[in-house]
Amino acid sequence: MRSSLDLTTAAATKGDLVRTLDVYGWVRPRQESMTEVRAPVTGIVKEILTTPGATLMAGDPIVTLQSREILEWQQTILIEGNRRKKLEDTKALLEAEGRAKMVELLGGLRVDAAEKKRISTELDLIEKAGTGSVAQREVNKIRGELESARASLQAKETLAEAYGLSANFIAKVKAGEADIRTQNGDLPPDYRRQLREVEFNIQSSLTEEKVAVTNLQSLGFEEDRLSRLREGDPDAVVNTITLRAESPFLVTDLLMKRQSSLNLGDPILAGVDYSEVLIDAEIPEVEIDQTLSRASDTVPIRIPALDNRVFEAKVLFFDTTVHSGDRKAHLVLSLENTEDQALRDGMAASVGIPVEIRHDALTVPKESVLNDGLEKVVFVADGDAFVKQAVKTGMEGFGKIEVMEGLDVGSEVVVSGAPSLLLSLKSQEGSLVVGHGHAH
């Protein structure tokens, strides 16, 4: 007869079979995953952008704050930008004036050197010709001019040395061998002092701006708006800012209301980061030794609330302290949550602690193996029919059982609906039921 049962099948496979110690556990968040968002600035809550129970991802909006501090930081950026422009103009002017002073000094140095040379040459010619042709008073006058030229030249040489120019460069200037328009950046000392002061003020301004920018960036201030502020655009100024989640978490409680006044550090909301959870497995006292000698730190778990979905968790630590009330220790596992963070605090978990690994074992799902009196049987798909097949089983694992005799690799066995199929078969003679099913 044709069966009206809705059946599912699975293939017998070969691979590693892990015998497990099956215990009970539950999901709980990591202690460090408990979070509380606090006000990063003083302000007033203008808009609440989330609700309790909402799962926020990194970058999702939480709340909009109106804050005087935000205005002040933006004002600082505008003021310091304008201040630096003025300082840069002052710097350029000082450099130009300083260079002009140096050119004036070096030009005077060259002129005085030439004048001294001219007078000295003239005096030499007169002295060689004899003083008879020239009045002594005129000779004395020329000698006085020479002394004056020497004094003027010496004064300029001394000033040039005080400005930091080398004796070699000064000599070349006097000889007309150096370009007085290039002084390798040398400026008069008073100009150098003023320039150092301007440079200090520029760096101080940059620091003030950087602090303001960093403060705004820490609040998630828009980068394009920051760029406009740095360019001196006053229209970029805003008096509110939207705080955003830094990492994924579940909102558990709102700790403020709209129009609430917040001080720095006041709580805004509480939440839990469920991106990674813990599984707290209860280990009976008599199983502590077996758990300590487990075959692997990778532990399969099944979550009934999620349609018995199976996950792989990692052993975090084993607290072997036995609690006096229930005589149980606790094995704590770490597990990455699903993309939609479906694992939540308090969910029950079936935990299979690996105690033995058998390689190259032929296995089928546990649900497919039934007790039929003195033997164990499975139903094997054969076209549109299902044939009852006796099997010899071996080691049991987490959701699987070893088949030592009676099946081949790839045999499709009934999983869901197998007990109903056995009852249907017992109502008729034979070992074959015709029906329909589908593979998983």
Concatenated DSSP letters for 313-349?
A: EEEEEEE-PPPTTT-EEEEEEEEEPPTT----TT-EE
CA dihedral sign of residues 352, 355, 358, 361: negative
Tell me, what amino acid is at 219? L
440: confidence class by pLDDT, cuts 50, 70, 90:
very low
Domain spanning 37-72+215-271: CATH 3.30.365.10:
no
Which pLDDT does position 385 carry in this prediction? 85
pLDDT digits (tens, 9 = 90+) for 97-119: 998 998 999 999 999 999 999 99
Q: Indicate the CATH number for domain 2-30+275-439.
A: 2.40.30.170
Q: Can you read off the two tokens belonging to residue 71?
A: 């205005």
Quickly state the pLDDT bin for 2 (edges 50, 70, 90): very low
**What would the two tokens of residue 29 be?**
């968040």
pLDDT of residue 39: 96
Which pLDDT score, from 0 to 100, does residue 185 have?
Answer: 62
> What digits encode the pLDDT tens for the residues 14-69?
999 988 899 999 999 888 788 899 999 999 999 999 999 898 888 999 999 999 99
Residue 285 burial (CB count, 10 A):
13
Given pLDDT bands bounded at 50, 70 and 90, which one contains residue 427? low
Backbone angles phi, psi at 432, to 5 degrees: -130, 135
Q: Which tokens in the block code for residue 343? A: 């694992």
Confidence of residue 248 (pLDDT cuts 50, 70, 90): confident
Per-residue model confidence (pLDDT) at position 424: 76
Look at residue 251 and tell me whether its pLDDT is greater than 60.
yes
Give the pLDDT of residue 383: 84
Distances in Å between the alpha carbon of 127 and those of 118, 122, 149, 151, 342? 14, 9, 19, 22, 113
The edge-to-edge listing of strands for the beta sheet with 267-272 is: 34-38, 267-272, 249-254, 55-56
Read off the tokens for 366: 């546990």
Helix 68-129 × helix 189-218 angle, to 10°: 160
Is 405 in a helix, a strand, or coil? strand
371 CB burial (10 A radius; 0-12, 13-18, 19+): exposed
Q: Express as a percent the part of the chain with pLDDT over 70.
A: 93
Q: pLDDT at position 398, please?
A: 83
CA-to-CA distance for 111 and 176, rounded, in angstroms? 10
Rounded to an integer, what distance in angstroms lies between the CA atom of residue 348 and that of residue 28?
A: 10
Closest CA to 393 of 421, 372, 410: 372
Given a cut of 50, is residue 329 above it in pLDDT? yes
Over 80: is that where the pLDDT of 425 sits?
no
Pairing outcome for strands 432-439 and 2-11: parallel
Q: Where are the alpha helices (DSSP H) in 130-245?
A: 136-162, 167-175, 189-218, 223-230
**Could you report the per-residue pLDDT of 350-407, keeping only the tens digit for each?**
999 999 989 999 999 999 999 988 899 999 998 888 899 999 999 998 889 999 999 9
Within 8 A by CB and 6+ apart from 40, the residues are 218, 219, 243, 264
Provide the pLDDT for residue 275. 85
